[in-house]
Amino acid sequence: MPGGVSSPVRAFRSVGGQPIVFDRVKGAYAWDVDGNRFIDYIGSWGPAICGHAHPEVIAALQDALEKGTSFGAPSELENQLAEMVIDAVPSVEMVRFVNSGTEACMSVLRLMRAFTGRDKLIKFEGCYHGHADMFLVKAGSGVATLGLPDSPGVPRSTTSNTLTAPYNDLEAVKELFAENPDAISGVILEPVVGNAGFMTPEPGFLEGLRELTREHGALLVFDEVMSGFRISYGGAQARFGVTPDLTTMGKVIGGGLPVGAYGGRAEIMEMVAPAGPMYQAGTLSGNPLAMTAGIKTLELLKQEGTYERLESTTERLINGILEAAKAAEVPITGNSIGAMFGFFLCEGPVRNFEDAKATDTELFGKLHRAMLERGIYLAPSAFEAGFTSLAHSEADIETTLKAFRESFAAVA
């Protein structure tokens, strides 16, 4: 396997050392092949919001397995999960299931162009929308972690229609619309950024994008693969009260199995084949296992007090991290929303990816290794958000903060 891994950031290249090879996971914990236990703040990069291998999800999957792993035909489970997504996410009137966040974003871009008849799109520097060619422009995530300029093998002709602006910069977006009249199909962004480190929208930013896209006849797309069902049950759009035209989703809605989805206004979604002429297909799309895990996960998340508990846990964690760094006189800035958090080892504020690049990546590598030695598993990159789950206990948080205090003192 290239680099010994199936996805680049797992290789620990930016933090040093060899990657941890997992054997099993349960609740808030992961065990490596040598039997070492870690408190996990990656959660399979977001899906494990109820905790790894939740017993109710596992039981539902065991029942589903008896009926088969893939149908290649419509199933009632697809309809059940579709109804749950439509009920929860303000922008979604119709939804199409796919197999990954990359696939969802690739498909929604084709849909944007088909619906508007325009070729150009605006994305934001540091926002990651999967590894499809047209999105690998200032793409954050693993591209930033590995120090790659974008990616060899992506033709200029493919990315010539991709325009970029700094996150949280409405004026830059206005200029792009002015310079490309009647040519921009839409704007796509992570409403809460998790792939360039954790960054939140400034007041008025999302609202401004909504106004600008309407003014210019373009579509607004929220990539909620990471934030969907994690910062609130209805995602960032429900939390901030800004409804896009289209939304991409993944991670949580598959309960840990491969899944993606895109949805939005019915008049736009009816462009998708076979209802309309825009072609998109997938052999394993809507497979019964992913649908089952997604349904059970969303049922668990709908229980009373779930998001209050997640928010409280995450706030306690990030506040403790900031206090530990300041006590060790380590420059830091950080924040959290719902069950997402992140920090940068630099003086704040961090408004966009350019600001984020000021973080001390060498110091983060030392911190990461120090935390591993103390049984805490953080994302092996200074440019990734962290995730909490319903399985993280008060004792887990206290153990984690003790490890941060010791680690900051050791690397300061």
pLDDT of residue 140: 53
140: amino acid identity, one letter: G
Domains defined along the chain, listed by start: 2-54+306-411 (3.90.1150.10), 57-301 (3.40.640.10)
Which of 120, 123, 138, 251 does the annotation list as catalytic?
A: 251
Q: Provide the residue-wise pLDDT of the chain in tens; the chain has 412 residues.
A: 998 999 988 999 889 999 999 999 999 999 999 999 999 999 999 999 999 999 999 999 999 999 999 999 999 999 999 999 999 999 999 999 999 999 999 999 999 999 999 999 999 998 889 887 778 766 555 554 444 446 777 777 777 888 999 999 999 999 999 999 999 999 999 999 998 999 999 999 999 999 999 999 999 999 999 999 999 999 999 999 999 999 999 999 999 999 999 999 999 999 999 999 999 999 999 999 999 999 999 999 999 999 999 999 999 999 999 999 999 999 999 999 999 999 999 998 999 999 999 999 999 999 999 999 999 999 999 999 999 999 999 999 999 999 999 999 999 9
15: phi then psi, degrees, rounded to nearest 5? -110, -10
Which of 29, 41, 128, 307 does the annotation list as catalytic?
A: 128
pLDDT of residue 326: 97
128 is catalytic: yes
pTM for the full predicted model: 0.95
210: amino acid identity, one letter: R
Cβ 244 vs Cβ 190: under 8 Å: no
Which of 223, 245, 355, 396 does the annotation list as catalytic?
A: 223
